[in-house]
Structure 1
Amino acid sequence: MAYLAPAEFVTKMVDAGESKLLMSTRDTLIRAYMAGAILALSAAFAVSVNVNTGNPLIGALLFPVGFCMLYLLGFDLLTGVFTLVPLAVLDKRPGASWAGVLRNWALVFVGNFAGALTVAVFMAIVFTFGFSEAPNIIGVKIGGIGESRTLGYAAHGAAGMLTLFIRGVMCNWMVSTGVVAAMMSTSVSGKVIAMWMPLLVFFYMGFEHSVVNMFLFPSGLMLGGKFTFIDYLLWNEIPTVVGNIVGGITFVGATLYSTHYKTAPKRVVA
């Protein structure tokens, strides 16, 4: 499995950020839609595994399959563009601007949400036989996740909001590490192994991923969760998005860029 040195794969990070920033609106939306749909299906799969086995570790071990698929297919997640696209501006690439960064983030958000919502509707139909009966055990579990990760945070007030934000930061620290790790190898097997490790950590630790939540919470509402769409936005999605931005840029993008791409001069030893 070919391995690229940090200076090499960080250059690929900046190139990828530039490519995504300058991509057409059509392609950005299509790729974001497919990424949101595939990751949502992977989340439904992992929850199903957790319920059926009673072992959350097994679900966490298997969840990254969806992330690997969407990455290898060249689709875009919000968490990834949070980290990569700003690098094009930091590197002063032609045509790169902060307005362009915000445009890209907005388009990917819309595409991811549409894809995740599509799968949420599909899975709600599956879990209820076309809304003709009460949700099955997996549907009940998803509804419970929606309640605990909105009203559960709200019950703790400011401390709950801080916890939610930090879980968002930690999530994209791991997820974007997975995005970057895939650039370390030029083989499919190397990319998959490198991506798998940080994704396993994120999912098992219960950190907050903005795109996974685009599936869990709308589907939770359809499956009888006792919370509202406003609860979801205020006590999960918006703080999670902010945390994902901070985690991806601070602990992955800017850190690797500053030390492996814009390396400081070596010390002169007397």
Structure 2
Amino acid sequence: MMNPAEILSATIHHGTEKVKRPMLEKAVLGFIGGAMISMGYLLYIRVVSSVVDELGSLASFIGAAVFPIGLIVILMGGGELITSNMTAVSVSFFAKKVKFNQLLKNWLFITLFNLLGAIFVAFFFAHFVGLTEVSVYKEELFAIADAKLNMGWLQTIVSGIGCNWFVGIAMWLSFGAKDTAGKLLAIWFPTMAFVAIGFQHSVANAFVLPAAIFAGHVSWLQFIQNFVLVYAGNIIGGVVFVAGFYYIGYRRQMNELEK
């Protein structure tokens, strides 16, 4: 495992490379990122709804344990996820390797294709195949959607902060791990933690809420309002609590290593 100063240097490199990607690569990998996070949430719903009657509240923990497959695929197999980019590209910006307009363009482009990937999965793999028509799965989907929408606006933002603090740490640790097993564990536990706690992830919500919309339960306006608040919280969590804190904490040591 790299030490934190080495991880900071690696993260700056990764963030810079994310900005340099050609548009087509960003589009494809952004779509994959949105789709894979959504597949993880689809798995969560399927698992939780299958065992909730037998295991009660423990079912949510089991669901949280399987959800990380999405982020594992993205960080180890390839993909672009806006919540990860909020951390990685911000670190590169703090290090003056990326310009502010490049950061904004990257965020907007990846967000767009994450949304397309998430809504694609919500429509085709939840709605079209009939999963959300099965009563037990529909009940879990609706319960999750209602819980997200029933939070106050400030609670929603703070929940988004907590989520991307964990997601940013998962990415940070995965960059520092030197082998496959290390990367797997580094991604798994922080991601499982934010899901088990119930923090809100903007791209994951872009699957859950549209899936509920296609099932006739909530509206697009409710989704947009939720997305904006959670996205704002995700920015604060990734930019301030991970990128900012670690850049301040380890910039000096990183500079000494590079001399």
Same fold (TM over 0.5): yes
Q: Aligned ranges for residues 165-180 of structure 1 at < 5 Å? A: 165-180=157-172
Q: In the alignment, is the contact (CA less than 8 A) between 1:143 and 1:221 conserved in 2?
A: no
Q: Which residue of 2 is the match for residue 157 of structure 1?
A: none
1:229 and 2:224 aligned:
no
Question: 1:79 aligned to 2:83?
Answer: yes
Are the counterparts in 1 of residues 85 and 107 from structure 2 also a CA contact under 8 Å? Answer: yes
2:184 equivalent to 1:195: no
Shift of 1:135: 4.2
Q: Distance in 1 between matches of 2:68 and 2:211?
A: 20
State the AA in 2 paired with 1:220. Answer: A
Aligned residues: 249
Counterpart of 1:252, as a letter, is V
1:100 equivalent to 2:110? Answer no
Structure 2: runs of 5+ lacking an equivalent: 53-58
Note the alpha carbon deviations across 1:184-221, whole angstroms, 9 max, x for none. 21211110011111111100011000110010000110
In structure 2, what is the equivalent of residue 255 of structure 1? 245
Structure 2 residue aligned with 1:156: none
Partner of 1:56: 60
Q: What letter is aligned with 2:20?
A: L
The equivalent residue for 1:186 is 178
Instruction: Tell me: CA distance 1:75–1:265, structure 2 relative to 1, closer, same or farther (3 Å).
Output: closer
Partners of 2:49 and 2:36 in 1: CA distance: 20
Q: Give the whole-Å Cα distance in 1 for the aligned partners of 2:51 and 2:10.
A: 40
2:245 and 2:153 mapped to 1: Cα distance? 26
Q: CA deviation at 1:146?
A: 2.0
Contact 2:8 2:254 in 1 (8 A): no
2:170, 2:188 within 8 Å by CA — same for their partners in 1?
A: yes
Larger Rg: 1
- How large is the Cα RMSD of the aligned pairs? 1.8
Most deviating of 190-199 and 139-148: 139-148
Superposition map of 1:99-178 within 5 A: 99-122=101-124, 123-127=126-130, 134-150=133-149, 152-153=150-151, 160-178=152-170
Over 4 Å off, 4+ runs: 263-266
Contact kept in structure 2, 1:210 and 1:241, CA below 8 Å: yes
Gaps of 5+ in 1: 154-159
Amino acid at match of 2:219: T
The aligned amino acid for 1:115 is G
Query: What is residue 3 of structure 2 aligned with on the other side?
Result: 5
* From 202, 209, 219, the counterpart of 2:201: 209
Q: 1:83 to 1:264 in 2, by over 3 A?
A: closer
